[in-house]
Every structure is written in structure tokens, then in C-alpha cells.
Structure 1
């Protein structure tokens, strides 16, 4: 499983897979999401995939099992391994989400990503205002400072931004909110990929002000204000991404 933040770190250049197993998973996973392996089609046979990736049959079979567990593939006796319908894909799996960054734009997917955040992250922020601990607040202020110190380093800035959102989700003390980590990280990757590649002076400063407003609302215990601040942040991030 990918570590939180690894997708954002890859914005500075594609990160090499750690071993043959993860390499095969990544390449076939991206192939499915991007349409190289179209939905409903059967993957090339084992011999062809072994030749393409230069791995053993054992490594290949384990990689295919992992992708089947993520809902992207389904093995059928006497037929082979087929690409599953989108309705079977586990879109809360961080890797499955991350592979969408390498795929052609999918308007339905992007709309769903935004709607999921708009529905759940403000709720998490409201709960954080009611349930946050002193340690949660300390970490929120720490990541605000990291954002302020990284205004001329977009990659570090977006990592700090993401970490702050993770702390807010944790401060809601709802364990199911952790399932949002992948959704939040991918949204940040879409928003910041241009800024990391082509930095512009002063463009990140508004993010600091908006995040500070969010943290202050949580610190004061104002649930409604925290929800509104989070929703405003999500909307601004979407506008920033669209402006390119």
C-alpha cells in the first residue's frame, strides 16, 4: 500500500517502484485506469506479461491477485483475467485513486471526487471543532507554519497542506474519515501539479489565509464556521486547479 504523501512527492518526478512486484502492479493498474487495458477485455496471457515485465510467473500471479483484490481485475476459469467494470473498482484504495493522475481526464470521476470531499470534509471539520485535542491543535499550527515557510517551495507547501487536512480528519475522531486520505491527496495532486512544475510568485499565499481561518474556527470550537471554512477551501482549491 502506498504511504500517505507518496503521490504528492511523485509530482516532482515519477517515483520508481521499490521491487518487481510493485512495478507490475503499478504498470497494469495504470494500464487499466488509462484504458490501455480496456474494460471487459482479457489481459494478455501469462507468457506475454512475463516477457513484457521480465518477472517470474510467481511475481506476476501475486501482482494480478493484488489487482483483483482492488477490484480492477477478475479471474475467470478457462477465460483468463479480465478487466472489471468500473463499478467494481475500489475507489477508496489510495493506489487505485493515485493511478487516475496518470490517466486522461475523466469528468465524471473528477466531479465525484469533488462531491465526496464537499460532502465529507466539512463534516469532519465541524466534528474537529467539537472534539479536537490540544495535540491536534498543536499539529495544525505546526503545519500552518510549514506552509508559511514553504511559499517558494510548492512541493513542500502542498505536502504541508495535505498533512493539515489529515490532522483535521484525525481530529474529528471518526475512524472512517481516514478512508478520505486518498481522496484528499489525489485532489491536492490535481490542484498542485501545475504549481509544482511551473511555480508563480505569490500564488500560494491565499491558501495560507484560508487554512488559518479553518484552524482558528476549529480552535474556537465553532463547528459551523469550521464547516464553512473547509467548504470554502475545497472550492478555492478547485478554482486554483481549473485556472491551471
Structure 2
């Protein structure tokens, strides 16, 4: 039986070293660069007094100590709107507020800049960027939005994205069907069925994530393959009902099983149709994307 979704999601997620390159530390002056505005600096009241108590840790930052926790904390505050667009982020104040070193602050800001959440400019300092500049396909931002005030938009957008790419992925997978692929997909469906019977939503979601990631990876389209991490992230946070497109259900397991059968038979049309049916199992999803019409 193949490894569950944790391995798949980590493999699909772009690597982040979290370490500044030579000469990059000075991009986040500490204290402010000359002329940097201090007015309107964020009030840190209301943030957790202990960043180790963060309720939800993004998968990309788990196990990274203070650096990962600070990225998580600041990222959530930006995405939630607690730190609005164009707000200055003063590294010295962040370090004092969260009791972390200047190196931790600079590394964290560098990661947030790579995600499009902040920008650092000479004589201006570090500021929060508008939503239009964010990398909305970044797995961490997907998770932060899923548990923030934008969760309804996140749910709709993820469902629309999945509706666009996953039926094609199922079609392509059927055209490249191999016995070992069918076996792995079948293994995931069996795990999902057992997990559903035991009300084990965590195991179900992990197997579900590996199932969908595998479909995206075996179709011979490398661009689709790179989207596997996005779909895995969408399913990873599906424990929150606000964004789940295919929550655990007998009908969902049945549609997964039909996808496996179609892939094994090399029936691209049936695989695509079964995937579309899977993504419209729940009535609320039908308000997001229309069910396929019969011709």
C-alpha cells in the first residue's frame, strides 16, 4: 500500500530554504532604514502572546521552529486583514513583539516576500502588499485564506479551479493507464472506504489528497503535475467544511471507485465524467459550478 497524502503533499510543495542568501539580510534594515515611515505601524495587541500557541500551522512551515511560526503568525495576520495593505512592518518592532532575533525576523519577511505578501524597498521599508500581488496558488496562502474572512471566496475559487483541471487530469490519466497506477488509486479508495466507516476524517482526507495528486501526476502533462500541490492543499484543509468540494460520503467513495475503473479500462470519457460527478456530489457545490449537461 502506497504512502498517504503527507508524503505526496510535501513532494509537490515547492521547497523553501527559509535562509537568506549572501547580502540579503540588509534588505530588511534593523532598525529602520533612513527615511522609513514609522507612522501607522501595526498594533500588535490581539496577536497571540506566545507564537507557539498558533492554532493552525501551515503545512509548509511545520517543524521549522520560531522562523516557521513567525511566518505563520504574520501570514495569517496579513491574510485576515489585521495587517492591511500598505501597512509598514518594522522588523525591530516585530522582533520585540514576538521576542525573536533579527535573523528570524529577516528570514520570515523574506519568505513572506516570496509569497507576494510583503515588499521591501530602500528608504521605504517593508510594507504589506495588496491582495492582487499575493501568490494565491501558494499552499500556505491557500490554508490561511481557508480559515480567514476570505474563506467563502477561497472555497468558491478552489472548487472552480478543481472543476477546470481535474476532469482533464482524469481523462489524461486514463490515456496513460498503467496497472501500478490503477493499483495505487484503488488502494486509496479502499483506505477512504475504511476511514469513512470508522468516521476517521483525517485518514480519509490524506488518502483523498494522494488520489487526486496521483491523477495529476500520471497524465503526462508536466504543467498539470505542478498543480498537484495546489489540489493537495485544497484537500488538506477540507476538514473545514467551508471549502470542501468532496467531503467524506458513500457517494464520493463510489465516484472515486468509478474513476479508478475508467482509468484501468483506458476509458478517458468515463474517467472525465466520473470526476465531474464527484465534484458535484454536494448540492452546495452545484451553486458554484454547473452539473454537466446531457447532450
Instruction: Give the alignment's TM-score, normalised by structure 1.
Output: 0.83
How far the C-alpha of 1:59 sits from its partner, in A, is: 1.2
Aligned to 2:217: 170
- Aligned pairs for 1:131-210 within 5 A: 131-151=176-196, 152=198, 153-189=200-236, 191-194=238-241, 204-210=249-255
8 Å CA contact retained: 1:147, 1:161: yes
> RMSD of the alignment, in Å?
2.7
1:98 corresponds to 2:147: no
Partners of 1:60 and 1:219 in 2: CA distance: 50
Task: State the secondary structure of the residue aligned to 2:220.
Answer: coil
Aligned to 2:291: none
1:20 to 55, 59, 66: 66
Aligned to 1:122: 167
String of CA shifts for 1:49-69, please: whole Å, max 9, x gaps: 001221111111111011101
Partners of 2:147 and 2:186 in 1: CA distance: 33
Aligned to 2:127: 82
Partners of 2:230 and 2:285 in 1: CA distance: 17
How far the C-alpha of 1:107 sits from its partner, in A, is: 4.0
Task: State the secondary structure of the residue aligned to 2:183.
Answer: helix
2:88 to 22, 28, 42: 42
Aligned to 1:9: none
1:227 to 269, 272, 283: 272
Which consecutive residues of structure 2, in runs of 5 or more, have no partner in the other structure?
1-5, 11-54, 243-247, 288-295
1:215 corresponds to 2:266: no
Aligned to 2:51: none
Larger of the two Rg values belongs to structure: 2
Q: Which has the higher contact order (CA 8 A, sep 6+)?
A: 1
Task: State the secondary structure of the residue aligned to 1:74.
Answer: strand
Partners of 1:93 and 1:59 in 2: CA distance: 21
How far the C-alpha of 1:189 sits from its partner, in A, is: 4.5
Partners of 1:108 and 1:125 in 2: CA distance: 26
CA gap 1:189/1:240 in 2 versus in 1, 3 angstroms? farther
How far the C-alpha of 1:213 sits from its partner, in A, is: 1.0
Partners of 1:72 and 1:60 in 2: CA distance: 15
Aligned to 1:59: 104
Give the ranges of 4+ consecutive aligned residues of structure 1 lying more than 4 Å apart after TM superposition. 2-6
Aligned to 2:16: none
CA gap 1:20/1:241 in 2 versus in 1, 3 angstroms? farther
Aligned to 2:75: 29
Partners of 1:238 and 1:41 in 2: CA distance: 40
How far the C-alpha of 1:156 sits from its partner, in A, is: 0.6
Partners of 1:150 and 1:240 in 2: CA distance: 23
Whose helix proportion is higher, 1 or 2?
1
